[in-house]
Amino acid sequence: MKKIITISREYGSGGRDIAKMTAEKLGYTFYDQAIINTVSEATGLNPDYIKKFGENTRRSHIFNYGYNGYMGIGFTGFSLPDYLWQKQRELILYIAGIGNCVIVGRCADYILRERDDCLNVFIHADMESRKKRAIEVYGDPNKNIEKVLKDKDKTRKTNYRYYTDQIWGDASNYHLTLDSSEFGIEKCADFITYLAKQ
């Protein structure tokens, strides 16, 4: 039985919904918004800022980094992105210590790589399903949605590479990867639940 499930996902793949459903099926705590709120309290950073940049720090802060990389937060020597990463990392390690949880994104698979009670999952989907989902479910209003999705992939990939030195979406980082456009959201949650119980 796995105590911790980490779910990484492409934007528009329904990975967050699969994570939430898996948590319900296993009776585990679902961490996504809770991470944002806790990190906000610990750092004083705005929750919207954390939501926006918590997984995209590297690409979105090229300008910030040049400045903060030198001065640091409160002269700690940390750049703002690295400070946010550090706080998120501490929280993920703490959450994992409690166990029985599902954690979405934030390089949790890498942060918890030494644990053997952790099931690492990656969810992806084909471009058509992702576009449909981004528009219908998330209400993304952008007309050039394919470009938005590709930009999001690139940003997450860059962030993941920077902090983990691994390749985002490479099968070898995960115990299991699933194409949600092939199996559907509910079935993916069922599979993960089944495998977590092994």
Residues that bind a second copy (CB under 8 A): 10, 119, 122, 124, 167, 169-172, 174-179, 182-183, 187, 191, 195, 198
Q: Residue 131 is inside which H or E element, if any?
A: helix 127-136
Smallest distance from the beta carbon of 48 to a second copy, in angstroms? Answer: 30
Looking at the Cβ atoms of 127 and 135, the one nearer to a second copy is 127
CB 24 within 8 A of CB 195: no
Q: Residue 48 is inside which H or E element, if any?
A: helix 47-53
Looking at the Cβ atoms of 52 and 147, the one nearer to a second copy is 147
CB 110 within 8 A of CB 166: yes
Looking at the Cβ atoms of 90 and 153, the one nearer to a second copy is 153
User: Using CA atoms, how far apart are residues 39 and 106, in angstroms rounded to an integer?
Assistant: 12
Smallest distance from the beta carbon of 23 to a second copy, in angstroms? Answer: 20
Q: Residue 118 is inside which H or E element, if any?
A: strand 118-124
Query: Which of 1, 178, 3 lies closest to 102, judged by CA?
Result: 3
Smallest distance from the beta carbon of 22 to a second copy, in angstroms? Answer: 16
Looking at the Cβ atoms of 23 and 188, the one nearer to a second copy is 188
Smallest distance from the beta carbon of 187 to a second copy, in angstroms? Answer: 7
Smallest distance from the beta carbon of 135 to a second copy, in angstroms? Answer: 20
Looking at the Cβ atoms of 90 and 151, the one nearer to a second copy is 151
Query: Which of 98, 92, 112 lies closest to 36, judged by CA?
Result: 92
Looking at the Cβ atoms of 35 and 196, the one nearer to a second copy is 196
2's CB contacts (< 8 A; 6+ apart) are 117, 118, 119, 195, 196, 197, 198
Smallest distance from the beta carbon of 173 to a second copy, in angstroms? Answer: 9
Nearest 5°: phi and psi at 10?
-75, 145
